[in-house]
Amino acid sequence: MLYHILVFLSDICCLLPASVARFIGKILGELTWIVVPKKRKQMAMHNIERCLKVSTDKAEQIAKKSWTRFGPMIMEVLRFKVICKNIDKYVTIKGEENIKKAMKWLGLYWDEGIDVGGENGPYRQTERLPLYNAAVQRLLEEGKAYYCYCSADELEESRKEQLKEGKTPIYNNHCSHLTEKQIEQYKSEGRKPAIRLRVPKDGVFAFDDMVPGHVEFQTAGVGDFIIVKSDGIPVYNFAVVIDDASMGITHVIRAEEHLSNTPRQIAIYQALGYEIPKFGHISLILGSDHKKMSKRHGATSVDEYRKMGYLPDAVVNYLALLGWSPKGEREIFSREEPISEFSMKRVSANDAVFNIEKLNWINFQYMKKLSPDELFQVALPFLVEAGYVSLPLSLEKEQWLKDVVWFVRDHLYYGAQTPENVKIFFETHPKITDEEKISIMKQENSAVLIRQFADALDALDPFDEDSIKKCFSFLMKKTGIKGKAAFEPIRIALTGETHGPGLYAMIALFGKKKSVQLLKDSLQYC
C-alpha cells in the first residue's frame, strides 16, 4: 500500500513545474518543523551548542534550517523520474556544446558529423539506438549473446567468492544456458535482464598496437561481459564497435587507459563478422608530479586556457608535441607542418608530462608575432575585467591603451598577465616602506635630482620619449649625477620599484601631469 501511495505522489510531483515543486517543498519543511516534538528540538539544539560553541538562538536557527531542508529534498526524491528522464539529454547537450566550442576555438574542424552532416549519420549515440538494437538482435538469434537475469547482489557475491579463491573476478556464466522454466521464474520476480556476449573460453585476443606493439589478452580472463544494460541502453564498448564499423573507421587512436577495452571490442567485432581496425593507444598526459592531470595541476580544459588569453595556434602547437616528436629540433610549427610530418611511428609509448612553463614559452613565441592591434585585442578583455577601462573607448583612449600594451609586450606570455604588467599606468604605487628603497631616496643628491627633473618635465614640449631622454641626459650632465645614483631614485619615485620597463617610454605613457605629480609626491621620502 505504501509503495502505491509513493508512486501516486511521485506521479503528481512529476506533473508540477520544478519551481512549484521547490516552493511546496519549502512549505512542507516549515510545517514539519512545527510538529517536531519539543524534546527532540531541545536535544538537537543542545548538541549544536556544545559542538559549535554558539548561542541558544543561533543553535535554534541552525537546527531549524537543517530540518526544514528535508522538505525540498523529499520533493526532489519524488521527482526523481523527471530528473532521470532528462539528465542524459542535459549532460549530452552540454558536454557536446563544450567539445564543439573548444574544437572550433582551436581551429580544429571536422569533415563529417554533428553540425556538418554526412553519409554516416546520425552522429549522436542516443539517435543510433535502432542500429545497436538490430546488431543485438542478430547476436541473440545466432546464439552469440544471451539474457542475464543476475541481480547486483548475486554478481557481487560471485565476485567475492572468486577473490577468496585467488581468481580474477569474471562472470560465472550462471545465465548462459537457462531453461525456459528458469527464465519464466526470473520474469515473474520482475527481474529485468541485461544482455551478455558469449566469449570463447580458450584462446587469445591478440593485436599489433601502433604504439606499444604486440599485445595479447587471454580470452578466459575476459568472461561473458554485458553489451546491453537492463535499461536497454548499450554499453560503451558495444556502441563504439557498431559506430566504427558502420562508419568505415580503419584506425582507432585513443588513450592507453582504454587498452583494457580492446579485447572486449575485438570479441564484438569477431562475433558480428566485422573487419577489425588498427588500434593505437597513446600515453596519458600527466601533471608535473607524474600523476593523472586534475584540477590540482591548474587549468585542465581548453576553455580555461581560452579564458586566460592563450592563443589557439600556440595551444595546438604545444599539444601536438605531447607524446609526438617531430624530426629535428624545431618546436614552433605552422598548422600544416605537423599534419604533413605526422607518423604513428614517432608517437612515444612513454607518458607525456604537461609542462605549463613550456606552454607559456610557446605561447610567448606566438604573442611576439602579433601586431599592435592584434595584441591589443587579446589584452582588452582583461583590462576591462580588471576595471582599468570601460567600453566603448574613445579613439584617443584606444590608441593610448594600444601603446601601453605594446610597451609591456615582452612580459606578456598570455593575455591574463596584462593587468599585472600595466597596473603602474592605472594605479598609484604603494607607499615606500622598504628600507633599501628609502635609503636610496635619502641619498644626498636624490631630492635635488627629483625636484629638478620634475621642473624640467613640466616645461618640456613636446612630451615624447626622445625629448624626455634628452632632458634627462642634460640633467645628469648638469648635476653630475649618473648611473644608478640617477636612475634608481627617479624610478622609485615613479613606480615604487628599482627595476622595470624602459624609463623614458614609460614616462611618455604616464603623461606630463602624472609624471610631474609622482615626482613631487615622492619628495616626502627624501
How does pLDDT run across 146-180, given as a tens digit for each residue?
999 999 999 999 999 999 988 889 999 999 999 99
Could you report the per-residue pLDDT of 430-484, keeping only the tens digit for each? Answer: 688 888 988 988 888 888 899 999 999 999 999 999 999 999 999 999 888 888 8
- Report, as an integer, the average pLDDT of 126-140: 93
Span(s) in the chain for CATH 1.10.1160.10: 295-367
Closest by CA position to 381, among listed 314, 310, 300, 318 = 310
Where do runs of H (alpha helix) occur along 308-350?
A: 312-320, 336-341
Specify the pLDDT at position 200: 92
Mean pLDDT of 207-224: 93
Please state the φ and ψ torsions of residue 280, each to the nearest 5 degrees: -140, 115
Higher-confidence position of 61 and 353? 353
Residue spans in the chain of domains classed CATH 1.10.8 = 370-425
What is the 3-state secondary structure of 114-139?
CCCECCCCCCCHHHCHHHHHHHHHHH
Look at residue 57 and give its three-state secondary structure: helix
Whether the per-residue pLDDT at 415 is higher than 90: the answer is yes
pLDDT band of residue 2 (cuts 50, 70, 90) is low
**Grid cell for residue 177:** 544456458
Domain 126-282, second-level architecture = 3-Layer(aba) Sandwich (3.40)
What is the location of CATH 1.10.10.350 in the chain? 435-525
3-state SS string over 234-270?
ECHHHHHHHHHHHCCCCEEEEEHHHHHHHHHHHHHHH
Cβ(227)–Cβ(268) below 8 Å: yes
- In CATH terms, the fold of domain 295-367 is Glutamyl-tRNA Synthetase; domain 2 (1.10.1160)
Grid-cell match 558502420, residue found:
246
pLDDT for residue 499 is more than 70: yes
The CATH code belonging to domain 370-425 is 1.10.8
Q: What's the confidence (pLDDT) of residue 419? A: 95
pLDDT at residue 455, rounded to an integer: 93
CB 316 within 8 A of CB 108: yes
Considering only the top CATH level, what class is 435-525?
mainly alpha
pLDDT at 92: 55
Q: Which residues are annotated as catalytic?
A: 295
Kindly provide the b/e burial profile for residues 107-137, where b requires at least 16 CB atoms within 10 angstroms of the residue's own CB.
Answer: eeeeeebeeeeeeeeebebeebeebbeebbe
pLDDT band at 90 (very low <50, low <70, confident <90, very high): very low
What average pLDDT is seen over the chain? 87
Task: Collect contacts of 465-472 with beta carbons under 8 A, ≥24 apart.
Answer: 465/504, 465/505, 465/507, 465/508, 466/504, 468/504, 468/507, 468/508, 469/504, 472/503, 472/504
Q: Is the model more confident about 300 or about 254?
A: 254
The confidence score (pLDDT) of residue 25 equals 73
Greatest Cα-to-Cα distance within the chain, rounded to the nearest angstrom: 111
| Single-letter residue type at 82 | V
Confidence at residue 82, expressed as pLDDT on a 0 to 100 scale:
47
**pTM to 2 decimal places:** 0.75
The predicted pLDDT at position 468 comes to 94
Can you give the pLDDT at residue 52? 52
In the chain, residues under CATH classification 3.40.50.620 are: 126-282
Give the total residue count for the chain: 526
